[in-house]
């Protein structure tokens, strides 16, 4: 039986006791711009510096977003005395090196997804972070959205019963340009690392690490995975079917199906959105949830920034809702899927 009402989300609200940290951005690209706007508008955090290999590019970004320091290298930023947290928004091939440099400088670090390009690299990063006692977190913003809090509560309360099936997909029509970063293996390109990580982390959140991974798909002429379907086998007769592609835009929806109820998340499931909880009984009752906060699209990046500040204020060295060990496990799943696709 469905509950009479859906639970309220546990929000990472700004100005609720978290420290106001000083942030530096490495990599002034599109996502960094969206992050800077969200932080400035919806948090108590401060972006004080930005770095790029091109000082001209850093200066332009700083002027656009009202940032005080424009720097010509990542090394200058991670060692800057005014920076408490480094946000890494470079191509993923650079995530490990910049993350390690920031850790060595004693900074907390938020690294865009994927946190690194392999499970082995993620282990190296996690080991360095733990040894240094700083907080390192993947910028998997979906984990910090209001809807995710509600979904976690429903799962913890057993409202869906025994989970049997997870479905999720993320496909974007990326221009087939061999110079585009997603088509370049040296930049950590391919569908799975950049887009497919959203469905994989979603299945991980619901079901944990899989016992088996089966992947089919295809490669681009440049040598990265272009599309794939993953079937993940879990304990207790549970299965996840996940799809990703850089060749076509897909609905980007997700489903969690249990013995008592089914939860269907509207596209794009990894952004602020809505969902419907339906009784397992055919034609049974439904409850619909919509984000009540008014934050839409990339405004939702603000939640992860406030979450990191809260965790720092609590003395944590990793996210309690997206741990470093889970980062490693998710990348191990992607490693195996990529290997199977490349070998097929």
Cα 113 to Cα 103: distance, rounded to the nearest angstrom: 17
Query: Is 37 considered catalytic here?
Result: no
Q: Residue 97 contacts by C-beta under 8 Å, 6 or more apart in sequence?
A: none
Count of residues making up the chain: 344
Burial of 136 (0-12, 13-18, 19+ CB in 10 A): buried
Whether residue 113 contacts residue 165, with contact meaning beta carbons closer than 8 Å, is answered with no
295 strand-pairing partners: none
Q: Is 140 helix (H, G, I), strand (E, B) or coil?
A: coil
Burial of 266 (0-12, 13-18, 19+ CB in 10 A): middle
Helical pair 146-156 and 197-207, crossing angle rounded to 10 deg: 30
Burial of 229 (0-12, 13-18, 19+ CB in 10 A): middle
β-strands 254-258, 163-171: how paired? antiparallel
Q: Which of 37, 113, 123, 221 is catalytic?
A: 113
Measure the CA angle with vertex 96, ends 94 and 100; round to 5°: 120
Q: What is the DSSP string of 159-197?
A: TT-SEEEEEEEEE------TTSGGG-GGGT-SHIIIIIH
Whether residue 99 contacts residue 110, with contact meaning beta carbons closer than 8 Å, is answered with no
Question: What stretches of the chain adopt beta strand conformation (E)?
Answer: 22-26, 46-51, 69-71, 85-88, 108-112, 136-139, 163-171, 212-219, 225-234, 238-245, 254-258, 261-265, 274-279, 286-290
Element containing residue 75 per DSSP (H, E): helix 74-78
Sign for the pseudo-dihedral over CA of 314, 320, 325, 331? negative
CA 61 to chain centroid, in Å, comes to 23
Which residues carry out catalysis? Answer: 113
């Amino acid at each position: 039986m469905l509950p009479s009402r859906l639970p309220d989300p546990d929000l990472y609200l700004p100005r609720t006791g978290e420290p106001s940290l000083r942030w530096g951005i490495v990599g002034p690209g599109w996502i960094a711009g969206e992050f800077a706007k969200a932080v400035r508008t919806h948090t108590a955090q401060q972006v004080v510096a930005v770095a790029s290999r091109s000082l001209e590019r850093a200066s332009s970004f700083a002027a656009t977003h009202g940032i005080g320091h424009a720097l010509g290298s990542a090394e200058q930023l991670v060692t800057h005395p005014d920076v408490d947290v480094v946000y890494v928004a470079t191509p993923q091939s650079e995530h490990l090196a910049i993350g390690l440099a920031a850790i060595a400088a004693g900074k907390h670090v938020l690294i865009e997804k994927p946190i690194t390009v392999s499970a082995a690299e993620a282990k190296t990063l996690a080991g360095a972070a733990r040894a240094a006692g700083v907080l390192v977190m993947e910028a998997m913003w979906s984990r910090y959205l209001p809807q995710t809090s509600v979904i976690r509560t429903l799962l913890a309360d057993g409202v869906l019963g025994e989970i049997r099936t997870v479905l999720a997909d993320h496909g974007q029509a990326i221009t087939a340009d061999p110079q585009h970063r997603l088509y370049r293996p040296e930049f950590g390109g391919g569908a799975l690392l950049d887009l497919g990580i959203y469905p994989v982390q979603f299945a991980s959140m619901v079901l944990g690490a899989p016992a088996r991974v089966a992947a089919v798909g295809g490669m681009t002429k440049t040598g990265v995975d272009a599309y794939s379907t993953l079937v993940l086998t879990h304990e207790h007769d549970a299965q996840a079917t996940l799809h990703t592609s850089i060749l076509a835009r897909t609905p980007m929806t997700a489903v969690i199906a249990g013995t008592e109820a089914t939860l269907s998340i509207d596209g794009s499931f990894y952004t602020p959105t809505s969902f419907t909880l339906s009784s397992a009984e055919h034609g049974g009752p439904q409850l619909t949830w919509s984000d009540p906060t008014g934050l839409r699209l990339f405004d939702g990046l603000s939640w992860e920034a406030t979450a990191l500040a809260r965790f720092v204020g609590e003395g944590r060295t990793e996210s309690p809702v997206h741990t470093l060990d889970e980062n490693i496990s998710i990348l191990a799943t992607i490693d195996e899927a990529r290997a199977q696709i490349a070998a097929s």
